[in-house]
């Protein structure tokens, strides 16, 4: 089992907060830009 601190992380493109890898993003980690659905929707509406 891995510790959360060992997982890769990124900064959200909208809010700038760091977020860590999740199992559901396993196949698409390179394309994940936002920490949440809320940030993804807000970025789409803002720009």
Summarised one tens digit per residue, pLDDT across range 1-47 is 778 888 999 999 999 999 999 999 999 999 999 999 999 999 999 87
Residue 43 · residue 16 · CB < 8 Å? no
Query: Nearest to residue 41, comparing CAs of 9, 15, 5?
Result: 15
Structural domain boundaries enclosing 9: 4-46
Q: What is the pLDDT of residue 4?
A: 81
Q: What is the pLDDT of residue 42?
A: 96
The total number of structural domains that make up the chain: 1
Q: What is the pLDDT of residue 35?
A: 96
């Amino acid at each position: 089992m891995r510790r959360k601190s060992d997982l890769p992380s990124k900064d959200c493109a909208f809010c700038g907060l760091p977020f860590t890898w999740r199992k559901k993003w396993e196949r698409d980690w390179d394309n994940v830009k936002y920490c949440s659905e809320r940030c993804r929707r807000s970025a789409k509406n803002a720009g």
